[in-house]
Structures are given as C-alpha cells and as structure tokens.
A and B are shown apart, each in its own frame.
Chain A
Amino acid sequence: MKYRGARILIEALKDEGVDLLFGYPGGAILHVYDELFKSSDIHHVLVRHEQAAVHAADGYARVSNRPGVALVTSGPGATNAVTGLATAYMDSIPMVVISGQVHSFAIGNDAFQEADVVGITRSCTKHNYLVKDVRDLQRIVKEAFFLASSGRPGPVLIDLPKDIQEHECEYLPRDQIKIRKRRLYSEADADKIQQAWELLKQARKPLLYVGGGTVLSQASLELMELARLTKIPVAMTLMGLGAFPGTDEQSLGMLGMHGTYFANMAITDCDVLFSIGARFDDRVTGKLSEFSKHSQKIHLDIDPGNIGKCVDIEIPLIGDVKQSLKALLKIVKKDENTLTQYHQQIDSWWQQIRDWQKKAPMTYEQGEKDITAQYVIDRFYRLTKGEAILTTDVGQHQMWTAQFYHFDSPHAWCTSGGLGTMGYGFPAAIGAQLAHPKKKVICISGDGSIQMNIQELATAIEWKTPVIIAILNNRFLGMVRQWQELFYDHRYSEVEMKVLPDFVKLAESYGAVGLRAQVKGDVDKVIQQALQVTDRPVVIDFVTTLEDNVYPMVPAGGAVSDIVLA
C-alpha cells in the first residue's frame, strides 16, 4: 500500500504499539496532525507548552517502562522540547520525540521556524535522525524505538521535514523492515560474575549500592533475592528508590548529599562495594578522593562508559542488571549451605549499622501549629498507604519526598535526578496518570518549581486527570536559599518569591479544585478531600515554615563522612 510520509509515520507508530502521544501542532508538522485527525487508534494529548509534552512522555515512560512519545513542530517547538530531552537523557529514559522540520530544500536557508534541531539535540539524545528520504522513514521509526528502549535506554529524536511528510512510498509490514544490528548486552561475563561472588564472599562489611539502572532493567525481584540470601545491606541512589523496598529492614534508604546518615557511613566504611546500575554520580560520592576509600569495588552496568569513569573498579561487570543478577544468583545458590556462616561473618557489620541508625534516624519535628514540609509528605505517605505514584520538581521538596515517602516498589517515582529540571513534576504526573488511570498520582512541588509549568492545569482538566499537586509553599526558592544561608553567610540573593499567585484561585480559574492548609490541623483534612476527587486535578497550597533546611547534608565538595545532621 502506498502512503504519504505523514501516514507512514502514524502507521509505524501504531506498529510500535503507540496508542498515546503528547504534542503541540505547528506549521512544519501539519501533515502529521492531519493524519492524526483521521486516525482513531492514537490518542493525542494537547499540552500547553512543548517542554511539558516531553516531560509527560517521560513520566509515562518511567511508570510504564514503555517508550514515551512526543510530537512537536520545527524551530521553537523543537527548541522548547530540548529541556525535556536533556532531562530524559540524563536519567536514561526511553523516549521517541518527533519534530517537524522545514521543507528539505529550505534547510540551511534560515527559513521561517527553522532551527538545526539535529545539531541542537545531538548531545542530549541517545541518537537522532534527519529524515532525507521518505523510503527511510519506516526503518528509522522502528530503529528509534529499538534504540530508545534497548541497552542503556534514552531519548531518540526524529526530525521530519515537511516535504517528506508529503512524499509517497510503499508501506511494508513491520517484520519486513530490517534495522541494523547494534551491540547488545545481556548478562555480564561469567568469569567476572564468579569473581564478584568470590570477592563478596570474603567481605566482612559488604554493601549493595543500587541505582536507576536496576529500575530500568526491572530487576527488583532478583535484587530482593540476592539481598535475602546474603543479608547484605542495601542503599539506593535518588534514581534507585523503589528498586528495593524502602521500609524493608535491610534497606538503608538513600545515599548521597541528602541521604541517610547510616547509608553514607556504610558506603564510607564498607570493604566491598557492589554497585548495581548506578554511576558514581557526584551527588552520591561527594569528594572523590575520600569516597569509600577502603573498599574493593564491583560495578555492574550496561554502559561500559560508566565503568571506571569516576572511580577505579576492581571487578567490572558489563551487562544487563536483571540478566547478570540472575546469573549471579545461580552461583550464590550453589553456596547456599555456607550462607548461614556468611550471615555471621557480616553480623558485626550489621551491629555497626544499627548503631549508626540509632545515632541518627530519619526524623523531623512537627509542632502544633506551623506546617513542616516533611510532615505533609509523611501524611501523604500514611493516607495513601505508600501506594501512590509520586512525582516531584527540583529542590528541597524533592529531597524531602525522597526521604519520607519510603518507596516500596519500583516505577512509582518520577523525579529529574540527573539534570535537576524544575517544571518537570506536574507534566510528568499527567503522563504517569494517563499510563495508570487507576493509580493515585501526586506531584509534590514547590512555590518556585510549580510556576515553571503551571499552564498544564488546562491539559489536566481537559483529560480529567485527578493529579494532586501539593505545593510546599515556603515563599522561597528553598534549596538555593539553604545554600545561601549555609555557604554565603545568609545573603539571600534573589530567592524570595515576593509575588506569588493565589494558588487556590488560580486552580479554580482553570476549573481545578483549589485547597489550602495553613496549620497542622488542616493537613489531613485537605489531603483526604483531595483523595476523593476523581475527575479533575487538585491543587493544594500548603503554607509551610519559611526557612527549614534539608538534613542530613553532605556539604558541597566535602567527603560523604563529613555529613551534617542538623
């Protein structure tokens, strides 16, 4: 069957199982929107800003483990999408973004709404394509989805000139389209896995350091089995939260700058560190020369580029986390009769960890009147029984959510960990809600962050997504203020939100529910009220204490063991 390019794109997307995409139309993508109009198989979510389209696709991908899809026009449409691409790229989120482009004969002529999108996005996509011939289009779409979701996942962009959307060619069944083979990794080298187990077996103070790769690889069950068999303590990165149950007694919670005291002490003091799908990010390691100095390190990662990038590794395991852990478990099980002895071997390590936990447990203070942010998150946790999907923006509220929502399962946590993108949380929540219509989705945000994509209230109303937006409103850019307080001698430079909208009225003006909590007693009431709403978004303005700080905190540039408790 002969179709024009725009139709081929739609058919190829359907072939990849796409039934939902997020986008914003414009001149250079008109033919595709015309085909969308005619197709009833793909639902299009009209956002109010292209950045939100990409974040929504990102949220959709994180909770469903399927590539998210976004559609934007050329020039400004595509440049608005760049922040979303960079966000997904840093966190290795599978995504395909299609951008319209000016006619191919006009490329390079500074045409209206022309931008060198392939050039601009080269460093924030896993790969990108400029379609120069309609006969390549079907292959490129198939290849884009393959690349986005295989190996280390990531966003892929397809730039589609307007004339190519009109050109016709034969449309083939998907299985007749050949894509080029790529390097694929399944399980790591068997000898290396054996060596890893030999090293772990000798350890007296072992630690599992679990990152987002474990979530992406869907390896939670294997991780749990390894932890149960060996009784090795588990610490997670911000991106790894949920890979192992946060409330489990073997969990040490989050590592790094605002991680728990005991996780950070454990990583400093351990003798064998087993990194699983993590990348030794500076927010985890602190000062590199002081990081986990006494440990031998095993690093399991699907991207060889992550291994040896920041720290020296004794045993590199290059492979898929799930497949490699499966192979490791087989070896561990052969030693099953020696494991009781192993548990005794690491018993004094556990006693040490319990002592650290007693010294500095994760707590917060909540008075009778003024609301603290931690209390709000804690109440959300209790009232949703920890079963909601949480998204955040970036700043203090993000760290408090990571600390106090105790994620027990994977794919229920969307946060911009690598890039740290304010404005991410709300559109990501819309995407997550559309992927899981029956789950409760809560976006924890701040009075600064929420204003970076507040316009998406319109999208959420249109799609009747009952996302709860909890604004922890301290009238400051809290995290920046915290740094200015601690490291710039209280010189609060441009961090006070002197003018804020009335968030309740703002919500109501869009047709959303607006609620406000001013004192502690209001908190449960508004949360319960919000949880009852099923047909529209709810904005809750939590008026919180002004100058609270996130603790524990590893000072910037300091060693992890320099962690400050309060």
Chain B
Amino acid sequence: MEDNYSKHTITVLVENEFGVLARIAGMFAARGFNIDALAVAPTENSKISRVTLVTHGHERIIEQIVKQLYRLVDVLKVQDLSDEDCVRCELMLVKVSIDSSQKEKVFAILEEYGGRIVDDYQGKILTLEFVKEHEVTEEILAALKSFKILETVRTGNIAMQKGGHEEAFYSADINEINE
C-alpha cells in the first residue's frame, strides 16, 4: 500500500441532529485522529449540515477516518477531496493598528490579495477581510506582520468538489431523509 502522509480536506454531510458535532469530534478524539480545522453550517436544506474538516495522516489513517465517519448514524455522506478536484477557501478577519504613514502599504496588500476593509476605527484600527485558501491566508498574515496585529479570526478551509458531481449524490441523500 502506498503510504503517503498528507493533508486532506474531508467534507461530511450530516443530519442536523442534536449532538452530531460532538459525535464527530468525539470519534476523532477517541481514535486519536487529528483535526487541523473544522467548519460547520447548515446547507440549503435546513435538515442537513455540512461539516468540512482538515486533517492529516497516512493513507491508512485517512481511509479509517472516512470509514469511521460512516459508522456514525447521523452521517450521510463523506468525501475525501483531493487538492486538484476541489475549490477551497477560508474567511479571515484581521484587526491591525496602524499609523497614517502605513495606510498605503495596507492598501497594497488588500489590492494584491483581494481583501477589503470591513471596519475602520478612526483611521487607526482597521479590520480587514480576506477570502482565500488557507495557504494564502498564511502568506497574508506574514505580510501583515509589519503592522501591529491586534486580533485574528479564521474559519479554516471549506471546500467543494469541482464540476457537476456534487448535485448527483446530494439530492439522493436528501430524499432519503424526507421520507
């Protein structure tokens, strides 16, 4: 078996039941799997939520993560998305404290990474918003280090498969629930 140690983005469709996030987190903790990032929110169907989690490990571990997720009764569908097949991004908010001489530099970074200012406190404290892949937000943070960073919030990557596959499995599972 080829045994590559790598990062994986796993997306999980779950029934919106009481405690489902605890079941997933508990399973990861109980079996010693890692969670690097985790994002959860309902889909367009309020009975179904999507959990996106980023993990890392050898092939065998990733295979076990997928299989053990499937053992949870509230889990409907699990996908291990490879880098090529999906689009990924995370939302990052960064609050920086600047003086007037630094404004130009901030604008340059916003320009380069497609960010925007979502809150401006007296021209001295700016809250910046970026939507980029996790690896890129790392870069942005590094670039912002020359300012005084007061606070950072990131959602962790969310991901979606490219192309037209998604809908096919998705609607089938919804039907199952609505019965």
A residues with a Cβ closer than 8 A to B are 118-119, 122-123, 126-127, 130, 132, 147, 178, 180-183, 303-305, 307-309, 312
Contact = CB atoms under 8 A, between A and B. Distances in A.
B82 interface: no
A305 B71 contact: yes
Given A122-B19, A123-B30, A180-B176, 15 more contacts: A118-B19, A119-B22, A130-B19, A147-B73, A180-B15, A181-B179, A182-B73, A183-B70, A303-B71, A304-B67, A305-B64, A305-B67, A305-B70, A307-B67, A309-B67
Contact of A308 (B60, B70, B73): B60
Contacts of B60: 308
B23 interface: yes
B70 to A, nearest CB: 7
Given A305-B68, A308-B60, A127 B22 contact: no
- If over half of A's interface residues share one DSSP class (helix, strand or loop), that class is named, otherwise mixed; here it is loop
B179 A178 contact: yes
Contact of A130 (B18, B64, B177): B18
B81 to A, nearest CB: 19
30 contacts: A119-B22, A122-B23, A123-B26, A123-B27, A123-B30, A126-B73, A130-B18, A130-B19, A132-B18, A147-B73, A178-B179, A180-B15, A180-B176, A180-B177, A180-B179, A181-B176, A181-B179, A183-B70, A303-B71, A304-B67, A305-B64, A305-B68, A305-B70, A305-B71, A307-B67, A308-B60, A308-B64, A309-B64, A309-B67, A312-B1
Interface string B7-29: 00000000100110011001100
B63 A308 contact: yes
Contacts of A182: 73
Chain B contact residues, majority secondary structure: helix
A413 to B, nearest CB: 26
Contacts of A119: 19, 22
Nearest to B26: A122
Q: Which of B19, B27, B63, B71 counts the most A-chain CB atoms under 10 A from its CB?
A: B71
A147 B15 CA distance: 16
Contacts of B179: 178, 180-181
Q: Which of A132, A147, A178, A180 has the most CB of B within 10 A?
A: A180
Given A123-B30, A181-B176, A312-B1, A304 B70 contact: yes
Interface residues of B, number: 20
Contacts, number: 40
B73 A127 contact: yes
Contacts of A130: 18-19
Contacts of A118: 19
Interface in B126-179: 176-177, 179
Ranked nearest first, the 3 interchain pairs of A and B with the lowest CB-CB distance are A305-B67, A127-B73, A181-B176
Contacts of B19: 118-119, 122, 130
B162 to A, nearest CB: 26
Nearest to A183: B70
A132 B68 CA distance: 27
A125 to B, nearest CB: 10
A289 B46 CA distance: 48
Nearest to A152: B71
Contacts of A178: 179
Contacts of B1: 312
A126 B72 CA distance: 8
A127 B15 CA distance: 13
B157 to A, nearest CB: 25
Contacts of A122: 19, 22-23, 26
A183 B176 CA distance: 10
B18 to A, nearest CB: 6
Contacts of B70: 183, 304-305
Interface in B40-54: none
A305 B71 CA distance: 7
A178 B132 CA distance: 43
A284 to B, nearest CB: 19
Contacts of A305: 64, 67-68, 70-71
A216 to B, nearest CB: 16
A461 to B, nearest CB: 40
Contacts of B30: 123
A116 B178 CA distance: 30
B143 to A, nearest CB: 43
Nearest to A182: B73
A192 to B, nearest CB: 17
B19 to A, nearest CB: 6
B47 to A, nearest CB: 10
Q: Specify which of B30, B67, B68, B179 lies most central, judged by the most chain A CB atoms within 10 Å of its CB.
A: B67
A303 B71 CA distance: 8
A119 B15 CA distance: 18
Nearest to B60: A308
A264 to B, nearest CB: 25
Nearest to B68: A305
Contacts of B63: 308
B128 to A, nearest CB: 38
A126 B70 CA distance: 12
Contacts of A183: 70
A308 B68 CA distance: 12
A119 B179 CA distance: 29
Contacts of B73: 126-127, 147, 182
Nearest to A132: B18
Nearest to A143: B73
A131 to B, nearest CB: 10
Nearest to B19: A118
A126 B73 CA distance: 8
A123 B30 CA distance: 8
Nearest to B175: A181
Contacts of A308: 60, 63-64
A481 B125 CA distance: 69
A178 B179 CA distance: 7
Nearest to A308: B63
